[in-house]
Chain A
Amino acid sequence: MTSLDTQVVVVGGGVTGVAVLRDLALRGVSAILVERSDFGTGTSGRWHGLLHSGARYAVRDQESARECIQENTVLRRIAPHTIEDIGGMFVLLPTDDPAYAPQFVAGCAQSGIAVEELTGAEARRREPLLADRIEAAYAVPDGGIDSWSLLRSMVADAEARDCLALQRHPVVGFERDGDRLTAVRVHDKVAGEDRLIGCQWVVNAAGAWAGQVGELAGVPIHMIAGKGVMVVMASRYVRGVVNACRKPADGDIIVPQHEVAILGTTSVQVPDPDDISVGPAEVDRMVDMCAEMVPSIGSGRVLRAFAGSRPLYKPPSAGGDGDGDTREVSRTFTVLDHATRDGLANMFSIVGGKLTTCRQMAEHLVDQLAPRMGVTTPCTTAAELLPGADHGHHELAGPLARIEADVAYGELVCECELVTRGQVRTAIAAGLTELEDLRRALRLGYGPCQAAFCAWRAAGALCEHASADADAEARLPDPQAALERFLEERWRGQLGAVWGDQARQALLNQSIYRGIFDLEATGEYDEAAAAGRQRQPGPARGDPTQRAGAELVGESEGRPRPRPAEGTA
């Protein structure tokens, strides 16, 4: 067993944990982050991509609203390259309670959120596909943010300052001496062995899984997993974020993201944060609700559906679990000092919160931790720009403009997401050998064709790279098996969303892979999924037992299966 030593171990590679790692790094503290799977495969990668203005919370949860607008401003400064500066709008439909509108405007004003009432003509100029009848529309400074891009930038910043972030290293236990944790035991899934990381402090930033980490350390943390379902549409529909101007409810937001629109969301308490199944009835509900704001969505093409688990925290004093609607639980965050709370001297947990406030969450936590460590360096994460920030805001047409401007930019491997062969080659040269990793790194296969044309091109690029490099050759998965794995992973998120044009797309894709290429199922995929074990050894594989790594429909035991429609015959 190998061992490492550091001052602080941060558990959890979502945005919160990574933001904590960066905060520690900027204060000169040595730290190691451990993540059970890939960065952002939990809640941070399973959401709609909204950079909150805070307006969503302005009526009922002004503490969250204020946090959001502050951090919205900070992120636009330190991480503009991860943000699409598209603005947002709240629309009041004839069926909505008109009394909500003045409360909304007042709440925004009290929370410091710039809100501007739009005329009908102006609202329609900004969003031509809006419903014919809207009673009122308000512009707010919402935006779109790419959490994977933000994660990569924060990790790069922390690693440039001698901190370390380990993927595929789940925590399996803690070493304890009296009232102190002395080391974190992790399992290196690549090497297949445990590692011990000696440390003075532990930060639990495992989000919806914080309760499970707490249990390993012997401290009870009552997390509530609030499942949110999202539906991906095949085109953007809207220029900016469109919200329903009503008390937060199902299907009240449309976020344009890269080439698609994401409809959100539900909020249902589930017993297990890994329960992220999506039924067809939930997909229908999202589509129908959002179509009230933008009617063409109702006849539009759904690409896929997925769900994420909100990391909601309920303090012990807050009473029962309610009726299952988790919207009543505050979206603000809480730092738990387990020394005062549980008599465990050197562990903190950070729970609750949301992506928009990840930096602020980290600051609050480290502000409590640092004095205990004797560190007096103040937080600088709001001032220091992230790597890549000099590129300005991300713009949808940016990749196209680069391709147009630069003859050498190269051919497209993925037309939907404008991924070039050069980008694929660079990623492969950096060590990615699985198509799934290329997807997360490059957005390969995200678009409307759902990998009809890019996956085999990328498989070709993998083979070409391997032919030129003996090391790569040794690590290269069998291309036909790799294609099968990738296609099956992509398929899982589509199961509840196949009808209309997407049914045609599915059959076309099958006629390409199975018809033209004669790619036959090996059966390995089924066996591995049934056994709940890793399908492919090596650094590039997610663990199928950790279901947050992929977008799943109808999955609850590592093995997809069709779900009956809910509430219909």
Chain B
Amino acid sequence: MRSDVVVIGAGPAGLAAAARLAEAGRGVRVIARGNGFTHWGPGAVDVLGRAGGQVVERPLDAAGDLAAGHPYRLAGVDALRDGLDWFQRVAAGAGLDHEGDPERNRRQVTALGTLRPTCLLPAPAARELAGKVAVCNFTGFRDFSTALCARGLERAGLSTTVGTVDLPAWNHERYFTAVELARALDDDGFRARVADGLARAAAGADVAVVPAVLGLRRGHEPWADLERLVGLPLVEAAVAPPSIPGLRLFAAWRARLEALGVRWQFGFPANGVERAGDRVTAVRSEGASRTIVTRCDEVVLATGGIAGHGIEAYRDGTLAEVVAGLPVQGFPDRTAFVSPRFLGDHPMGASGVRVDAELRPVDRSGSPVYANVRCVGSLLAGHDPTVEGSREGVALATATRAAALLAPALEGTGGR
């Protein structure tokens, strides 16, 4: 097998890099172990929610002030701006409008009733919370508690009521997941009946908060339709995984990649490379019965950090990058992986592969290990995507930068 570029990983960074490279005319093959962070996240585009423990209001400004090794400093704020702009265009083209301005953070309501700082919000999560807020759930949906969410919103100074929407009869097991409910809400008839109940549950309120389950396969259409039927602004609250907004986005990405002719090898992780001199000549991956070897000119490594299986953390405190054996700074022993506080900053969350200004992995002395490998997304050292709330922004900025480096014809910034 052969491909101009092999992209390893199908989280936000790998998907964005593959799409941008394919748009620029490069032949791309994506090799992915499984679903990436789209499925696990809050379903928004975080750029920089916190820096130095403080909530950030102006993420682009703050991104430029980060430490020198931070991915934003390497990719450049222009690449970040360009990546966000590109994302908004492409998502809107797929029926997934995202609202927001990279200059200014917004707030996303969560199932805990907190208001998390983020940058771009999918339209169903973007309505303003003002006046009387009705927090509503669907009977039997166990991953959202109206009382818990409302209590959090009250704590944040909002005035709330709670309500429950009985679901019409539908075909499900005794209890059901967000995915099943979201799929059911794709159906016009089902949704119309739900709308009646939701209107009653939210009567007298100015806006209704519901769990993020309003439709799966038809973009934001089911939400928009429900809003019309109920006659109230509806806000989807972020719930625990799986993320329905993330699933919507993933489906749109995948459709776009397929339309662009990107080949897709899913469920079989890359587990090694072949090299000649300072270049990777092929990527090895697991197959059903044998190792698959994909020859390539360039590699984009988007395997994620420890959480994404890109890095393995061993019990002696060492860390290893799993595909190409890239150098990763480990720890004296494993107790140093973590903070004594669960809600603290775990040092392992910020560990990763160090790269040069062209996103090439470097060794201890700062020299590139491979000339044709670019690292993007949470695999990169120098940032903790959860603690600072930067995951999607870093993914888009570094994917944009990598694509510009590998497809010089690409319109945009950060090219050679």
A239 at the interface (CB under 8 A from B): no
CB contacts (< 8 Å) of A516 on chain B: these are 41-42, 110-111, 116, 238-241
A284 at the interface (CB under 8 A from B): yes
Given known A460-B147, A504-B306, contact A521–B335 (CB-CB < 8 A): no
CB contacts (< 8 Å) of A509 on chain B: these are 342
- Do A498 and B338 touch across chains, with their CB atoms under 8 A apart? yes
Nearest CB in chain A: distance from B106 CB, A: 13
B416 at the interface (CB under 8 A from A): no
User: Among the listed stretches A31-39, A127-135, A175-183, A489-497, which one makes contact with chain B, having 4 or more residues with CB under 8 Å of it?
Assistant: A489-497
Residue from the list A461, A467, A504, A512 in contact with B162, Cβ < 8 A: A467
- Do B145 and A457 touch across chains, with their CB atoms under 8 A apart? yes
- Do B342 and A411 touch across chains, with their CB atoms under 8 A apart? no
- Do A457 and B338 touch across chains, with their CB atoms under 8 A apart? no
> Which residues, 270 to 310 on B, are CB-close (under 8 Å) to A?
305-307, 309
- Do B145 and A280 touch across chains, with their CB atoms under 8 A apart? no
B174 at the interface (CB under 8 A from A): yes
Residue from the list A457, A510, A515 in contact with B389, Cβ < 8 A: A515
CB contacts (< 8 Å) of A478 on chain B: these are 155
User: Among the listed stretches A187-195, A330-338, A480-488, which one makes contact with chain B, having 4 or more residues with CB under 8 Å of it?
Assistant: A480-488
Nearest CB in chain A: distance from B60 CB, A: 21
User: Among the listed stretches B24-32, B86-94, B247-255, B313-321, which one makes contact with chain A, having 4 or more residues with CB under 8 Å of it?
Assistant: B313-321
Given known A508-B40, A511-B386, A515-B42, contact A491–B174 (CB-CB < 8 A): no
B224 at the interface (CB under 8 A from A): no
A98 at the interface (CB under 8 A from B): no
- Do B112 and A515 touch across chains, with their CB atoms under 8 A apart? no
Residue from the list A464, A488, A519 in contact with B112, Cβ < 8 A: A519
- Do A466 and B147 touch across chains, with their CB atoms under 8 A apart? yes
C-alpha spacing A516/B151, complex, angstroms: 17
CB contacts (< 8 Å) of B305 on chain A: these are 507
Minimum CB distance partner of B318 in chain A? A499
- Do B343 and A514 touch across chains, with their CB atoms under 8 A apart? yes
- Do A510 and B386 touch across chains, with their CB atoms under 8 A apart? yes
CB contacts (< 8 Å) of B316 on chain A: these are 568
- Do B340 and A457 touch across chains, with their CB atoms under 8 A apart? no
- Do A459 and B148 touch across chains, with their CB atoms under 8 A apart? yes
0/1 interface trace, chain B 310-332, chain A, CB 8 Å (1 if under): 00111111000000000000001
- Do A495 and B147 touch across chains, with their CB atoms under 8 A apart? no
B349 at the interface (CB under 8 A from A): yes
CB contacts (< 8 Å) of B238 on chain A: these are 516-517
- Do B387 and A280 touch across chains, with their CB atoms under 8 A apart? no
Residue from the list B112, B309, B341 in contact with A518, Cβ < 8 A: B112
- Majority-rule SS of A interface residues: helix
- Do A480 and B112 touch across chains, with their CB atoms under 8 A apart? yes
B114 at the interface (CB under 8 A from A): yes
C-alpha spacing A543/B333, complex, angstroms: 31
- Do A487 and B336 touch across chains, with their CB atoms under 8 A apart? no
Q: Interface residues of B, CB < 8 Å — how many?
A: 56
0/1 interface trace, chain A 403-416, chain B, CB 8 Å (1 if under): 00001000111000
- Do A504 and B111 touch across chains, with their CB atoms under 8 A apart? no
CB contacts (< 8 Å) of B387 on chain A: these are 514
- Majority-rule SS of B interface residues: loop
Given known A516-B238, A519-B112, contact A510–B341 (CB-CB < 8 A): no
A554 at the interface (CB under 8 A from B): yes
How many residue pairs link A and B with beta carbons under 8 A? The number is 171
C-alpha spacing A9/B156, complex, angstroms: 49
- Do A517 and B111 touch across chains, with their CB atoms under 8 A apart? yes
User: Among the listed stretches A201-209, A369-377, A428-436, A555-563, which one makes contact with chain B, having 4 or more residues with CB under 8 Å of it?
Assistant: A555-563
CB contacts (< 8 Å) of B174 on chain A: these are 407, 411
B393 at the interface (CB under 8 A from A): no
Nearest CB in chain A: distance from B312 CB, A: 7
Given known A421-B142, A517-B112, contact A488–B341 (CB-CB < 8 A): yes
A564 at the interface (CB under 8 A from B): yes
- Do B346 and A510 touch across chains, with their CB atoms under 8 A apart? yes
B344 at the interface (CB under 8 A from A): yes
- Do A519 and B114 touch across chains, with their CB atoms under 8 A apart? yes
B115 at the interface (CB under 8 A from A): yes
Given known A490-B342, A491-B341, A500-B314, contact A515–B348 (CB-CB < 8 A): no
CB contacts (< 8 Å) of A284 on chain B: these are 315
Residue from the list A453, A464, A562 in contact with B240, Cβ < 8 A: A453
A446 at the interface (CB under 8 A from B): no
Given known A411-B142, A569-B332, contact A500–B315 (CB-CB < 8 A): yes
Residue from the list B147, B152, B335, B389 in contact with A464, Cβ < 8 A: B147
C-alpha spacing A509/B389, complex, angstroms: 15
Q: Interface residues of A, CB < 8 Å — how many?
A: 62
0/1 interface trace, chain B 366-392, chain A, CB 8 Å (1 if under): 000000000000000000001101000
C-alpha spacing A478/B148, complex, angstroms: 10
Nearest CB in chain A: distance from B292 CB, A: 25
Residue from the list A421, A506, A518, A560 in contact with B346, Cβ < 8 A: A506
Given known A456-B148, A564-B333, A565-B333, contact A526–B341 (CB-CB < 8 A): yes
C-alpha spacing A506/B346, complex, angstroms: 9
CB contacts (< 8 Å) of A453 on chain B: these are 240
Nearest CB in chain B: distance from A154 CB, A: 34
A513 at the interface (CB under 8 A from B): yes
> Which residues, 30 to 79 on B, are CB-close (under 8 Å) to A?
40-42
A463 at the interface (CB under 8 A from B): yes
Residue from the list A460, A488, A494, A507 in contact with B386, Cβ < 8 A: A507
C-alpha spacing A495/B337, complex, angstroms: 9
B175 at the interface (CB under 8 A from A): yes
Given known A517-B111, A554-B335, contact A463–B147 (CB-CB < 8 A): yes
- Do A518 and B335 touch across chains, with their CB atoms under 8 A apart? no
B140 at the interface (CB under 8 A from A): yes
CB contacts (< 8 Å) of A513 on chain B: these are 342-343
A479 at the interface (CB under 8 A from B): yes
- Do B341 and A463 touch across chains, with their CB atoms under 8 A apart? no
Nearest CB in chain B: distance from A423 CB, A: 13
CB contacts (< 8 Å) of B145 on chain A: these are 456-457, 459-461, 463-464
CB contacts (< 8 Å) of A525 on chain B: these are 341
CB contacts (< 8 Å) of B333 on chain A: these are 280, 564-565, 568
- Do A562 and B336 touch across chains, with their CB atoms under 8 A apart? yes
0/1 interface trace, chain A 520-562, chain B, CB 8 Å (1 if under): 1100011000000000000000000000000000100000111
- Do A503 and B147 touch across chains, with their CB atoms under 8 A apart? no
C-alpha spacing A510/B306, complex, angstroms: 13
CB contacts (< 8 Å) of B342 on chain A: these are 487-488, 490-491, 506, 509-510, 513
Given known A521-B344, A560-B340, A564-B335, contact A503–B162 (CB-CB < 8 A): no
C-alpha spacing A564/B147, complex, angstroms: 43
Closest 10 CB pairs of A and B: A460-B145, A463-B147, A491-B342, A518-B116, A507-B307, A565-B333, A521-B343, A460-B148, A562-B335, A411-B175
For the complex with contacts A456-B111, A479-B148, A495-B338, 19 further pairs of A-B residues with Cβ separation under 8 Å are A411-B174, A411-B175, A460-B144, A467-B162, A483-B112, A487-B343, A490-B342, A496-B335, A498-B334, A498-B337, A504-B307, A514-B387, A515-B41, A516-B42, A516-B241, A518-B115, A518-B116, A519-B343, A521-B343
> Residues of A with Cβ closer than 8 Å to B?
280, 284, 407, 411-413, 421, 452-453, 456-457, 459-461, 463-464, 466-467, 478-480, 483-484, 487-488, 490-491, 494-496, 498-500, 503-504, 506-521, 525-526, 554, 560-565, 568-569
Q: List 10 A-B contacts (CB under 8 A).
A: A456-B148, A488-B343, A495-B340, A498-B348, A500-B315, A504-B307, A508-B307, A509-B342, A513-B342, A562-B340
> Residues of B with Cβ closer than 8 Å to A?
40-42, 110-112, 114-117, 140, 142-148, 151-152, 155, 162, 174-175, 238-241, 305-307, 309, 312-317, 332-338, 340-344, 346, 348-349, 386-387, 389
